[in-house]
Amino acid sequence: MEFGTDLDFPNFGRLGGALDWQLESSMPLFGTKFSANPTYHKHFYFYPLAALVLLHYLMMTSCTAMKRLSLGTDQSALLALNARITSEQHEFLSKNWSSTAAPSSVCDWIGVQCSSRHQRVTDLNISNMGLTGTIPPDLGNLSFLVSLDLRNNSFHGNLPEELSHLRRLRFILFSNNRFTGEIPMWFGHFPELRFLFLDNNGNFLEGNIPEKMGNLSVLKDLSLSGNYLSGQIPLSLCKISQLQSLDLSSNRFSGHIPKEIGNLEKLTYLSLMTNNFTGTIPREIGNLQNLQGLNLEWNQITGSIPKEIGNLTMLTELYFANNSLTGTIPQEMGNLYQLENLQLPYNGLNGSIPRGLFNLSALRNIALSSNLLSGNLPPDLAYRLPKLLFIELAGNNLGGVIPVSISNCSQLRVLELSINGFTGSIPDALGDLRLLQYLKLLLKTSEIKGTIPSQTGNLTNLLLLDLQSNHLTGGIPTAFKDLQNLQDLTTNRFSGSIPECFGNMTSLRDLELGNNFLVSAIPNSFWNLRDLLQLNLSSNSLNASLPLEVGNLKAITSIDVSANQFSGDIPRTTGDLQYLLNLNLSQNQFHGSIPESFGNMLSLQGLYLSHNNLSGFIPKSLEALRDLKELDVSYNHLSGEIPSGGRFRNFTAGSFLFNDALSIAVKVFNLELEGVLKSFDVECEVLKNLRHRNLVKVISGCWNQDFRALVLEYMCNGSLEKWLYSDNYFLDTLQRLNIMIDVASAVQYLHEEYSTPVIHCDLKPSNVLLDEDMVAHVSDFGIAKMLEKEESFAWTKTLATVGYIAPEYGSEGLISAKCDVYSYGIMLMEVFSRRKPNDEMFAGNLNLKSWINDSLPNSILRGFSSIMELALKCVGESPTDRLRMKVVLETLKKIKLKFLQVRQADE
């Protein structure tokens, strides 16, 4: 029961009116008792006093009753919310919010606060409680609510319109939930709203920002990040003059950044990162002189950085990374004296770095990597940068010597100067950067010369040292013994032996010493590096044998000692390395047999033993390596039969070449030839073990140095595309149904019935061939992908045919079985409408999918509605919205059965 917006005065007024009427009606009685007699005077004074006492009593009683009734309304609303909660991680509410409690106890419930004046719920904070459920309409009855905080739960579904009744709300905090649907227009109806947080709702909020949100005239903070919102920024937002923080990041917004955004002069934080904004940065952004944080990274913004950015003198954070900005860095940015973080990498900026940037004494991070910047770094680069922690200038055209003054950046943690054109030597002064953790000088022009300074040993906090692709010479400094925190070391062109002191670098995780001129044996202390994860000593001149102590590297995941001069037996203790993924011992002089213990390395994915002097059998224990994807034992002296179990059935003959005494039960292919097509290899890999009546069979293969070819089963009726679009060819409805059932059957086999799931990736009519009985056979696996059983998706850089490609495949390279389902749905539409997805009639926002969707209600495709409805269920924007191919096949068979029944009845 509600009594309006004010409990005191309106209700008291109504009580007062009733009492006034009672007093008026009693006045004649008072009048008859009044006389000069003192007794009558006593009665005269007594009755009004009694009436006043009665008035006070009635007012207090009625007020208490109405407060009880109003608080009961709040209690009912909260209990309705509690009833909608389906899961509760901590059970706070279920143990505290009781339906049997008196309404007066509501104000003591957890997460609830009431006003002292009205005893009504004004603050509901149930954030971080691990709640799952939906929001009931009853919540709109909390008419005194000022703050509603549901953050960090799993509420889902649409937001009920009844929330629009909460006109007193100042705080709507719904971050980190799973709400769906569009942002309701009634969000513009909260005249008191200061803070609106709808961010990080699992990418489920979609649609445009309502224009009416511009009515929130006192709004200070608007956060909509981490959703699936689209469209342009409405100009009405740019009229909210009190706005101080605007975060629209991680959505699908597009269009230009409106110049009117410069009207938000109180703005201190603006983030539009990770969207699809295009056009240029408006120069009006320079009007936002209170701005402290500006983030536009990961968009498609073009043009130059406007010089008006230099007006933002309060700015501390500036992020423009991963756009397509061009031109020079404005000199005016040297005015940003409060700037702490400057992030401009992955653009097309050119010219030299303005000297003014090196005068910004508050600067902590500067990242300008992957641009087209040129020129030399100034000699006094670091004199005015006492707080600098990160310098990232990799991937430019910078030259000259590395300034000695960089040693003045005593707080520096990261120095990344790779892939530039620096010359000279590594300054000894780098040894003064005692806090440095990452040093990368990988250079594309290989002009850094000389030796590694011994002062490098002072960098005792160093975690990563990458000096590859230079002309550095000499031995590895013994000063490295002090780098006990070093985890990643990559160098080249060094000579001499590996120092004994490496055994002291117990934090080492990644050691890359490949392609050097190292000689001699690996020192015994080296095998003390028990936390080592990756070891690459390939392409040196190391010799002697590997000791049994190699088994001490219990954490190792990759060992590559290929192309050296190691000899002796392969240590049997190598089989103790349970986490090893890749083992490359090729191109050495190992002899003896392959250890039986290799079968214990159950994580192994790649085993490379070629070009040695190994003999004996291939151990059957290797059949236990279920994750083994690559095996190469070619160019040895192995004998006996090749194991047939486990992953061995997937290996080609090239894995076993040139072992004269080895019994090979397959045709030998020379895989050493260069210039082979990747698609050929993929198709061989996919087709060699597939067995299904609706897949094209491979009879044989042939090739020479100039070409490769597969010999396939001949399909005399050609492709489905020919039968759809060529003159004098016709398919009736039943034939089309049968063909699409055949295709669905083949695809279901690839996805769910073959031992390794196969994604075709390029389903279309031209890849469906018809035999003499018009039975369909799926062909062309040139870009197919094989998934492991536990994998549901993978990534690829190979694009399929435009029009048939799923959205996530085209935009992100993400492939799964649902990509084939999408392509199949497009094919289904095409086969029954005879419209190609790239037909000339489809332009702008019109495509085959939307045309079919619009045509169904109008009966343009009369007779095919059930087929087209099935097709639309295959082409959902999200993979989760699409059917499994098994369901598609079953549904299509039911449609065929119904079609036959109807046709038989008609006959």
Does residue 41 register a pLDDT over 90? Answer: no
Q: Are 421 and 445 in contact (CB under 8 A)?
A: yes
Q: Are 633 and 617 in contact (CB under 8 A)?
A: no
Does residue 807 register a pLDDT over 80? Answer: yes
The vertex-425 CA angle with 420 and 427, nearest 5°, equals: 105
216: left (phi over 0), alpha (psi -120 to 50) or beta: beta
| Secondary structure of 521-588 in HEC code, one letter for each residue | CCCHHHHHCCCCCEEECCCCEEEEECCHHHHHCCCCCEEECCCCEEEEECCHHHHHCCCCCEEECCCC
Which of 6-20, 265-279, 403-417, 460-474 shows the lowest mean pLDDT across its residues?
A: 6-20
Catalytic positions: 762
Q: What pLDDT score was predicted for residue 613? A: 96
- Other beta carbons within 10 Å of 36: 6
Find the largest Cα–Cα distance for the chain. Answer: 144
780 band by pLDDT with thresholds 50, 70 and 90: confident
Q: What pLDDT score was predicted for residue 538? A: 93
What distance in Å separates the CA atoms of residue 127 and residue 90, rounded to the nearest whole number?
12
pLDDT in tens, 843-853: 666 677 777 77
Torsion sign across C-alpha atoms 525, 527, 530, 534: positive
**What's the whole-number mean pLDDT along residues 45-64?**
48
Q: Are 295 and 317 in contact (CB under 8 A)?
A: yes
pLDDT in tens, 182-206: 999 999 999 999 999 999 977 689 9
Give the whole-number percent of the chain exceeding pLDDT 90: 53
Does residue 553 register a pLDDT over 70? Answer: yes
Of residues 684 and 85, more confidence is placed in 85
Q: What pLDDT score was predicted for residue 35? A: 37
Q: What pLDDT score was predicted for residue 348? A: 96
Q: What's the token pair of residue 736?
A: 């089309």
The structural domains of the chain, ordered by start, are 9-114 (no CATH), 165-212+220-229 (no CATH), 546-672 (3.80.10.10), 678-712 (no CATH), 720-906 (1.10.510.10)
Q: What pLDDT score was predicted for residue 784? A: 60
Does residue 92 register a pLDDT over 50? Answer: yes
Q: What pLDDT score was predicted for residue 644? A: 73
**What's the whole-number mean pLDDT along residues 51-73?**
54
pLDDT in tens, 240-282: 999 999 999 999 999 999 999 999 999 999 999 999 999 999 9
Of residues 314 and 867, more confidence is placed in 314
Which of 48-62, 156-170, 264-278, 383-397 shows the lowest mean pLDDT across its residues?
A: 48-62
pLDDT in tens, 119-166: 899 999 999 999 999 999 999 999 999 999 999 999 999 999 999 999
What distance in Å separates the CA atoms of residue 601 and residue 583, rounded to the nearest whole number?
10
What distance in Å separates the CA atoms of residue 220 and residue 231, rounded to the nearest whole number?
23
CB neighbour class for 4 (10 Å; exposed up to 12, middle 13-18, buried from 19): exposed
Q: Return the top range by mean pLDDT from 83-92, 362-371, 827-836.
A: 362-371
Q: What's the token pair of residue 361?
A: 């004494």
Beta strands 228-231; 252-256: pairing state: parallel
pLDDT in tens, 723-775: 988 877 888 889 999 999 999 999 999 888 887 788 888 899 988 999 889 99
Q: Are 208 and 230 in contact (CB under 8 A)?
A: yes
* Cβ partners under 8 Å of residue 678, min gap 6: none
For residue 792, give the 3-state DSSP assignment: coil
What distance in Å separates the CA atoms of residue 336 and residue 152, rounded to the nearest whole number?
36
Give the whole-number percent of the chain exceeding pLDDT 70: 81
Does residue 296 register a pLDDT over 60? Answer: yes
pTM, 2 dp? 0.63
Q: Which residues are bridge partners to 695 per DSSP?
A: 778
Of residues 85 and 40, more confidence is placed in 85
